[in-house]
Amino acid sequence: MNRQPTSAFWVLTLLGLAVLIPMASLLAVGRLPGFEPGDLQFWHSSYIRRVLFFSFWQAFLSTLISLGLALLVARSIAFRGNFPLRNLLLKLFGLPLVVPSIVAVMGVVSVYGAEGWIPLGRSLYGLNGILIAHVFFNLPLAVRLLLPVWQSLPDHYWQLAEQLRFTPWQRWVHIEWPAIRENLPGVSLLVFMLCLTSFAVVLTLGGGPKSSTLEVAIYQSLRFDFDPTQAVILALLQLSLCLVVAVIGLSLQKLPEVEITISASNYAWHNKNRLFHNLVILLAAIFVGLPLLAMILDAIRGPVIEVISDNKLWQATAYTLMIGLSAAFCSVLAGWFLLRSSSVFANRGQINKAKWIELAGSVVYVVPPLVLGTGYFVLLAPHVDVFDWVFPIVILINAMMGLPFVIKVLSPAMRKNQMRYQNLCCSLALQGWHKFRWIDWPLLRRPIGLAAALVSAMAMGDLGVIALFGSVDTTTLPLMLYQQLGAYRIPQAAVSAVFLLLMCLLVFWSLERGLGGKDYVKN
C-alpha cells in the first residue's frame, strides 16, 4: 500500500509528448520554407485582423444569446416542476452532445435554407447562420448545466419567500441570482471556448473571408493556399487566445461539472405564470427540435436509395466506425490509468495532486484540435506523406479530445470505489485481474460504457482533423457530407446527414448498453 501510484505518470508523459512535440514544431516556424520575418507581424495583415475580430465577435454573440435564452428556459423548466414529457425534453436537450456539428448544420439549412420552412435566403450564410447553429448547440448545453442550480436551491427558500410575500422580482434577486452568479462565469467560459474553436459550423455556414474564424482560416491556409507559414501563425494565435481564455477561466473559478444525470425535482406547488413558462419551454423545444425534424423529413423525401446504394457511403461508414471505436478505446484506457493514480491520491487526502493529474489530462481544452493537427502536419510533412498517416493522427487527436469527458464521467465513480473498497480489497488480497474482474468491472462498467459511448460518438462526428488530413480515398461520413454540401447536393446531403446521425446514435446506444450492462447496482 505504500507503493506510489505511477500509472498516471506514464499516461501524462505520453500525452505530454503527443501535445508538446507538435507544439514545438509550430514554434519552429522560422525554419519553414518560404518563411519571411515579416510574416510574424500578423497585425499588419488586414485579413488576419478581420479573422481575429470575427472569431471573437461571433463567439461573444453566440455566448451572450445562448446564455441569455438558457437562463430563461432553465428557469421555466425548473418552475414547471414535473410536467408531461419533461424527461423527453431533457433527453432532446442532451442530444447536441452526440449530434455531429455538420449534421446540425444540415438541420439548420433544412429549416432556414432557401428551400426550408423559414427561409432566410442568402443571409443565412454568414453571421446569422453561425449564430443559429451555435445557439442550437449551446442553448441546450447551458440549460442542462444551469438547471441543477435551481434544483439545488432548498425548498425552504421558496416556502420562506411565500411567507414573506416576495414578488417574482424579489425572489430572483434574493434567491435565484446569488446561486446563478456563482456558476455563470464557468458556463459562459465553456460556451465561449466551444464557439471560439468551433470548426464545422463556421466552415459550412461562414461566407468567405468576411466571416471566417481562426480555426477555419488555419484549414484554408493549409489545404487551399498551401501556405504552412500562415497556417502556423494562425495556429499560434489561436493557441494563445485559448490559453488566455483558459487562464481567465481558471482564475475566476472551476469549470462547471458536466451534469450527466438529471434529477427531477418537484417545485410544482409554486406554479405561477404557468402560461408564460409553458410558452418558453415550447419555443425552446421547437427551436432545438425543428432542425432535427426538418432534416429527417427532408431525408425521407430525398434520394434514399441512391445514397445508400453508393459504395462510397459504406466505405466512409467503415472508416468512421473504425475511428470512433479506436478513439474511444484509447481514450478510456488512458483515462482509466490516469484515474487509478488520482483516485489513490484523493483517497489519501492529497486532493491537490489528484486535481492536477485530472486537469493535466484535460489539456486539450486549451489546445484546439486544428492547432494540434497543424502541428502534426508541419512536423510530419517534410518526412512522410501526411495523407498516409490520416487514421493514426485522427484517432490520436480524437482520443485526446475525448479524455476530458472520460475523466468527468469516470472520476467520481472511481474515487468512490477507491474510498469504499480499497482497504477491504487490500485485506482480502484482491488485486490485479481478480480485482478488475470481480470488483472494478461490475461496479464501473456503467460509467465506462457511458464514457466510451460519448467519445466514440464525438469522434465519429468530428469534421476538423479529418478535413485537414482526409483525401478522396480516406473519406469519413462527416467529410463526405461536407463535400455534398459544398457541391450543393442538398437532397443527398440530407440523407447522408440522417444516416450519420443514426450511426452515431446506434453506436452510442450499443456502447452505453452493451458495456454498461442492463441492471444497475445501487450502492
Partner 1 sequence: MLKIEQLSFSYHQQQEPEMLFELTAVPGEILSIIGPSGCGKSTLLNLIAGFLPAQSGHISIDNEFVEKLSPAERPLTMVFQQHNLFPHLDLYTNVALGINPSLKLTSKQKDEVSDALKKLGLSGLEKRKPGQLSGGQRQRVALARALVRHHKVLLLDEPFAALGPALRQELIELLKSLVQQKSMIALLVSHQPDDALQASGRTAFIHQGRVSAIDETFKLLNNSKNKAIRNYLGSL
Contacts with partner 1, residue ranges (CB under 8 A): 1-2, 420-421, 423-424, 426-431, 434-435, 438-439, 442-443, 521-523
Q: Which helix (H) or strand (E) holds 393?
A: helix 390-427
Burial 497-510 (b: 16+ CB within 10 A, else e): bbbbbebbeebbee
**90 neighbors 222 (Cβ within 8 angstroms):** no
CB closer to partner 1 out of 275 and 521 = 521
Longest dimension (CA), the chain: 75
**507 neighbors 106 (Cβ within 8 angstroms):** no
DSSP secondary structure string, 276-296? HHHHHHHHHHHHHHHHHHHHH
Query: Is 82 strand, coil or helix?
Result: coil
Q: Grid coordinates standing for 481?
A: 457530407
CB closer to partner 1 out of 23 and 443 = 443
Q: Report the alpha-carbon distance of residue 387 to residue 390 in Å, rounded.
A: 5
Min dist CB 432 to partner 1, Å, is 9
Min dist CB 423 to partner 1, Å, is 5
Min dist CB 410 to partner 1, Å, is 17
Q: Grid coordinates standing for 43?
A: 497585425
Min dist CB 340 to partner 1, Å, is 18
Q: Grid coordinates standing for 409?
A: 464521467
Min dist CB 349 to partner 1, Å, is 9
DSSP secondary structure string, 40-93? G-GGG-HHHHHHHHHHHHHHHHHHHHHHHHHHHHHHHHHHH-S-TTHHHHHHHH
CB closer to partner 1 out of 25 and 418 = 418
Kindly give the interhelix angle for 177-196 and 127-151, rounded to the nearest 10 degrees.
150
Min dist CB 455 to partner 1, Å, is 25
Cβ-Cβ contacts under 8 Å for 305 (sequence gap 6 or more):
none
CB closer to partner 1 out of 304 and 430 = 430
CB closer to partner 1 out of 312 and 434 = 434
CB closer to partner 1 out of 2 and 163 = 2
Min dist CB 186 to partner 1, Å, is 33
**330 neighbors 396 (Cβ within 8 angstroms):** yes
CB closer to partner 1 out of 1 and 472 = 1
Min dist CB 9 to partner 1, Å, is 21
Q: Grid coordinates standing for 441?
A: 468491472
CB closer to partner 1 out of 433 and 488 = 433
